[in-house]
Chain A
């Protein structure tokens, strides 16, 4: 073995160690989700076993996880769609126009992202109660705009400002109106930014618990995290079911997070960290 290869050994070992520490807890949950309850309780832990998908069948079919996942998906899609409708034009205005208060408007959009949820949840709850919107996804989707709109504005403002100026000037000379320029020329160019913003806003709304637990608490309307949490409340904790529910919630998040991994740190900090 040459010196270079020997020097490489600790580097690879440390690298593998980092990967194991980062992933092992997730693996352990997923392993528990396909074990029988006896295997979960076994000491020493069982490493090799015949996987069973009974817990998945049980949580999806009997414990309401299927509809909870659908609620989460619906809330996430509605949140993202509304945030795009509201945020893309705002990002366009900030990214392409020079106007008074431009920076202040931009800061204001971004600053909503820093808001502490526990401050907003009290008024949200009182408003939802008055309007009889408890257990309606409408209130939840609106609440999620506080983080989804800033995400879309920030990502698309960035994207729009990089489109060459000559493009819309040329379109104007050709007689295109504001709407045509925006919908036909600008939006298609901003699709990459919109896609990243959409995935991030899906992940963040999918992951959220506090608003969902207060605004949509009933068995029929609650989202997946609230449902999984409810399994902990029983007399005896159904460990296998709980871990199956956790795995179902987190699998799509992992897939999409890996997809936009380059943007996740920037998304979490709204671009403060490049």
Chain B
């Protein structure tokens, strides 16, 4: 009965131009290819990883089958000191690199914002893009060159200052420092450019008034510019956190996670566990733990930045 009515209605409708019908279905036709492919390459693999995280998957013994093993992989993941060590190392890495990047970034942003020459500012802004666009593998390669303990430029420079040579990549602590140094070199420009953009949102009349009010740039920063900088600082924090969780290429090239496990950040560890120790099941469980962390992060990120954004 109802179906018949619909058929009659459909037959009565002129199909050529019907704005309502257009609005309802057409967008999905345009969306479909993208959605299908992203489901296949973005969602399906995650389900697969979830499946693997509850099974024993050993790359070296796949013929023996992949039996369900309850939550054993998760228990192994949590009580594995290499994994928790890698998570801690990533947190320490973040806790050191972030304040340094923010500190240098704020100073550079203030300098760029206040500079007398728009032309110089333009040049510096373009140049700052180069480190952060650079192939992370190549950044790592540069690190192996400048931190080499025999002919590296860094040892030469500290030698001129009278400091004895350091075995940068052979010493646990120094390798961590070298990795941090490269990360800070590559990503401080990103923080700086975000903060330059934030500073430009300070209304010029307020800025001019403050310049008349006080000569102290620190006071200006604290009372006037900081509120405008906060969204940019939050953005830098969230993105840098996400990137340090992902950080793989540069560190893998520079140290491979070594010496020992001294620069083995969380992504490096999981990759090694999966593809060198062949323990795919536990590595999958560890990556699912990371995924939960990322989802929490991206929720935070979406709530912060896309609240008002409309595509």
Within the complex, which residue of A14, A89, A123, A210 is in contact with B34, where a contact is CB–CB below 8 Å? A89
Within the complex, which residue of B37, B125, B232 is in contact with A261, where a contact is CB–CB below 8 Å? B125
In the complex, which residues of chain A have a beta carbon less than 8 angstroms from the beta carbon of B150?
41
What distance in Å separates the Cβ of B279 from its nearest Cβ neighbour in chain A? 11
In chain A between 1 and 20, which residues have their CB closer than 8 angstroms to a CB of chain B?
A: 7-8, 11-12, 14-15, 18-19
Task: Tell whether A133 is near chain B: CB-to-CB under 8 Å.
Answer: no
Number of interface residues of B (CB under 8 A): 99
Is A249's CB under 8 angstroms from B235's CB? no
Task: Tell whether A59 is near chain B: CB-to-CB under 8 Å.
Answer: no
Number of interface residues of A (CB under 8 A): 107
In the complex, which residues of chain A have a beta carbon less than 8 angstroms from the beta carbon of B131?
22
What distance in Å separates the Cβ of B247 from its nearest Cβ neighbour in chain A? 10
In chain B between 256 and 311, which residues have their CB closer than 8 angstroms to a CB of chain A?
A: 266-267, 270-271, 274-275, 280, 283-284, 287-288, 290-291, 294, 297-298, 301-302, 304-306, 309-311
1/0 per residue, CB under 8 A from B, across A28-51: the answer is: 110010000000111111000000
Task: Tell whether A65 is near chain B: CB-to-CB under 8 Å.
Answer: no
Docked CA distance A65–B42 (Å): 31
Is B31's CB under 8 angstroms from A89's CB? yes
Beta-carbon nearest neighbor of A106 in chain B: B311
- Prevailing SS type, chain A contact patch: helix
Binds A, one of B3-11, B95-103, B186-194, B209-217: B186-194
Is A214's CB under 8 angstroms from B275's CB? yes
In the complex, which residues of chain B have a beta carbon less than 8 angstroms from the beta carbon of A89?
30-31, 33-34
Is B135's CB under 8 angstroms from A253's CB? yes
Task: Tell whether B78 is near chain A: CB-to-CB under 8 Å.
Answer: no
Is A210's CB under 8 angstroms from B248's CB? yes
Task: Tell whether B180 is near chain A: CB-to-CB under 8 Å.
Answer: no
Docked CA distance A203–B42 (Å): 21
Is B26's CB under 8 angstroms from A97's CB? yes
What distance in Å separates the Cβ of B228 from its nearest Cβ neighbour in chain A? 13
Is B151's CB under 8 angstroms from A271's CB? no
What distance in Å separates the Cβ of A243 from its nearest Cβ neighbour in chain B? 6
What distance in Å separates the Cβ of A204 from its nearest Cβ neighbour in chain B? 9
Given contact pairs A42-B151, A99-B28, A114-B294, A25 touches B146 in the complex (Cβ within 8 A): yes
In chain B between 1 and 36, which residues have their CB closer than 8 angstroms to a CB of chain A?
A: 16-17, 19, 22-24, 26-31, 33-35
